[in-house]
Amino acid sequence: MPTFLAVVYYGLIASDVYISESRFVIKSADQKRSQMSTLANLVQTTGISGGQEQTNEVLTFVRSRDALRSLEKNPGVSSRFSVPEADVFSRFPRPFSSSSFESLFKYYSDMVDARFDSDDGTAIIKVHAFKPFDSYIINKRLLDLSEGLVNRLNARAQAKAIAEAQKQVELATNRARAARVALGQYRNAQSVIDPAKQAVGVLEISNSLIAQRAALLAQIELMQSVAPRNPSIPALRSRARALTVQIASQDSRVVGSGSGIASKMGGYESLLVEQEFASQSTTAANAALVQARADAQRQQYYLERVVDPNIPDQPLLPKRLINIITVAGAALCLYFIAWMFMVGVLEHAPDND
């Protein structure tokens, strides 16, 4: 009876199933540029190492409910699994099953196979359908969705890396701006532009006055030794005293008072150092931003189709003869087990005579 039912189902009822297969690898742009003729690089280009994590993410997405929701749009994948060509036991919804999304997801998991082939380093997507074109369309749509996922992952990683670098640039720029404002406010409050340069200028004036006073004192001493009663000596002494007052005044501008240039040097130099450090930090942050953008471009991944989805020209499932032989063999084994069990029971049954 099981063999007869199998012959009836697989011979008269079971619908043909067409399988569309595609293969892809995920590589990085940096990996592509580094391809050389060495064995190590040849192995790398197969996708065994580079992009393995991204490949697993894509395969997980293909097997997920999100992929099924995307496939349900324009037109829905459920309609391709409910075609009249499918028998009542194979189409969606199956007998004793609802047409809910969870039932569709379980059905989708049986009809779509996404896995990684470690032998050749490629990801495989196999789609089962009851029409050749339906299996091709679903497979192609899954590849398109996978490419979109890779692009979104690239954009997300790139945006995250660049956003962090941009944040550092903004912090450094704000710090440099605050340092410039603080330095300008200090100059206005202290009535000073550059204390170091101003101090040099004042000291140059003071040194010039000291030189003039020294020459004048030498002239006075000479005149006193040659002509002590020279009437110009008092005027020269008055001039020497005036020079001394001017020298003291110039020195007091640099040191010796709370408003001297020397008292302003500490605060000015601290602000100047902060401004220079903030400027260097801004330069470094901008360089890091440029590097982050370059790294983001170099580390982007892309999906490369090794085998495009095919439109099958003949059904690969079900394997009718193999399935019938399998059912017949299983039924025969069960028959012999039951027969041996009954023989054993009869042999050990008590004799009523």
* pLDDT confidence band for 268 (50 / 70 / 90): confident
Mean pLDDT, residues 32-60 taken together: 59
- Whether the per-residue pLDDT at 302 is higher than 60: the answer is yes
pLDDT top residue among 113 and 350: 113
Sorted by where each begins, the domain ranges of the chain are 1-36+46-158+299-318, 165-296
**Which percentage of the chain shows pLDDT scores above 70?**
84
For the chain, give the mean pLDDT: 84
> For tokens 């050389």, what's the residue?
36
Per-residue pLDDT at 115 exceeds 50? yes
> What are 28's strand-pairing partners?
301
CATH of 1-36+46-158+299-318, one of 3.40.50, 3.30.1890, 1.10.3470, 2.40.30: 3.30.1890
Tell me what the mean pLDDT of segment 243-249 comes to. Answer: 79
Mean pLDDT is lowest, of 40-44, 245-249, 316-320, for: 40-44
What is the three-state SS of 257-275? Answer: CCCCHHHHHHHHHHHHHHH
Contacts of 274-277 spanning 24+ positions with Cβ under 8 A? 274/179, 274/182, 275/176, 275/179, 275/180, 275/183, 277/179
- For residue 21, give the H/E element and its range: strand 18-28
Number of helices (H) and strands (E), helices first, in the chain? 12, 4
| pLDDT category of residue 39 using cuts at 50, 70 and 90 | very low
Per-residue pLDDT at 256: 58
Q: Check residue 161 and give its pLDDT.
A: 80
The pLDDT value recorded for residue 199 is 63
Q: Note if the pTM is more than 0.85.
A: no
* Higher-confidence position of 201 and 130: 130
What letter represents residue 245's amino acid? V
Split at pLDDT 50, 70, 90, the class of 36 is very low
In terms of pLDDT, which residue wins out, 192 or 287? 287
Q: Name the more confident of 310 and 189.
A: 310
| Cα 267 to the center of its chain, rounded Å | 44
More confident residue, 140 or 290: 140
Q: What is the mean pLDDT of residues 62-86?
A: 92
The mean pLDDT of 83-90, rounded to a whole number, is 93
- When comparing pLDDT for 216 and 311, which is higher? 311
DSSP secondary structure string, 113-130? EEEEETTTTEEEEEEEES
- The pLDDT of residue 291 is 83
* Higher-scoring residue by pLDDT: 154, 81: 81
The Cα–Cα gap between 49 and 228 comes to 104
The percent of residues in the chain predicted with pLDDT above 90, rounded, is 41
* Helix spans in 45-131 (H): 52-62, 65-71, 77-80, 101-111
pLDDT mean over 337-351: 84
Least confident of 88-102, 180-194, 303-317: 180-194
Task: Decide which of 41 and 106 is more confident.
Answer: 106
- For residue 97, the number of C-alpha atoms closer than 13 Å in the C-beta half-sphere is 17
Q: Please give the pLDDT value at position 308.
A: 95
CA 92, CA 344: separation in Å to the nearest integer? 46
pLDDT score recorded for residue 140:
96
